[in-house]
Chain A
Amino acid sequence: MFIAGGVSGLLGIGSGILKVPAMDIAMKLPLKVSTATSNFMIGVTAAASAGVYFYRGDINPFIAAPVAMGVLIGATIGTRIMMRTHSTLIRRIFVGVLVLVALQMMARGLGLR
């Protein structure tokens, strides 16, 4: 989890991508519990940095407002869907997202974007 925090702080990727597999594989928690816990942890840890960014004038309302509104709507819908979805489907979606992020990072690392 310490590594997850460090990597996400360094690379700006969502630490959930590292936390969910860590809880799922190493700690053997159910996937839905891992997702929910990861979500909550990100909220608490992100609040620490968001407060600092805010004080430093790095949070532009013009960008933050649509992002916040979109994420809140999406997260609300996503949570409702998650409660009804089978965890094998969630696992497949998660693997898909991981592959996508990996490819994206590789492309960026090789200077293709």
Chain B
Amino acid sequence: MRVELFIASLLRLGVILSFLIVATGVIAVMVTGQTGYGQGDLDDLRSLITYRPENPPFPYTLDQVLSGILALKPYAIISLGLLVLIAIPVIRVAASIIAFAVQGDWLYVGITAYVLSMLLLSFAIGKAGE
């Protein structure tokens, strides 16, 4: 049960962290009036939500997010927060494998490991299919 509570607090911490990062990015956009990725104009909000599959005006790979963070681009900060949010359930699944192993519940270790491998497989396929 202690493991469960530890995982619960880990999740809660992750959600708070993600919220704070996204909020920082949103405030940065509002204060600087820039997204850091050109092509969109804050005076013309429609241009910011126009769908450009060839050349999205925001970071969408880990490299772009990291280099954007180093350059303090507001959109990269928001994207980092979103990535943290996406990563939370994946981390939770990984953590529950350990939790089930501690309890000696090997059937559920197997099932959870299968779920985790499917999650990671979907990320790998999604990246390769680009």
B-binding residues in A (CB < 8 A): 40, 43-44, 46-66, 68-69, 72-73, 76
Does A62 contact B49, Cβ atoms closer than 8 Å? yes
Which size bracket describes the interface of B in this complex? Answer: 35 or more
Q: A61-B25, A62-B49 are in contact. Are A56 and B89 (CB under 8 A)?
A: no
Does A69 contact B23, Cβ atoms closer than 8 Å? yes
A contact face: mostly helix, strand, loop, or mixed? helix
Does A56 contact B122, Cβ atoms closer than 8 Å? no
Does B126 contact A56, Cβ atoms closer than 8 Å? yes
26 A-B interface contacts by CB (under 8 A): A43-B88, A43-B89, A44-B93, A47-B86, A48-B118, A52-B123, A54-B82, A56-B60, A56-B126, A57-B56, A58-B53, A59-B79, A60-B48, A60-B58, A61-B79, A62-B35, A62-B49, A65-B22, A65-B78, A68-B18, A68-B22, A68-B81, A69-B19, A69-B26, A72-B18, A73-B19
B96-125 residues with Cβ-Cβ distance < 8 A to A are 115, 118-119, 122-123, 125
**In the complex, per-residue mask of B67-89: 1 if CB is within 8 Å of any chain A CB, else 0:** 00000000100110111011111
Count of CB-CB pairs between chains A and B under 8 Å: 98
Does A57 contact B58, Cβ atoms closer than 8 Å? yes
Does B86 contact A50, Cβ atoms closer than 8 Å? yes
A47 to B121, CA, bound (A): 12
Does B90 contact A47, Cβ atoms closer than 8 Å? yes
Asked if B130 lies at the interface with its beta carbon under 8 angstroms from chain A, I say yes
Q: Which of A40, A46, A68, A73 contacts B82 (CB 8 A)?
A: A68
Instruction: Give A5 Cβ to nearest chain B Cβ, in Å.
Output: 12
Chain B hits for A60, CB < 8 A? 48-49, 56, 58
Instruction: Give B52 Cβ to nearest chain A Cβ, in Å.
Output: 8
A58 to B52, CA, bound (A): 9
A18 to B15, CA, bound (A): 26
The 3 closest A-B pairs by CB, nearest first: A52-B126, A57-B56, A57-B60
Does A61 contact B119, Cβ atoms closer than 8 Å? no
Chain A hits for B26, CB < 8 A? 65-66, 69
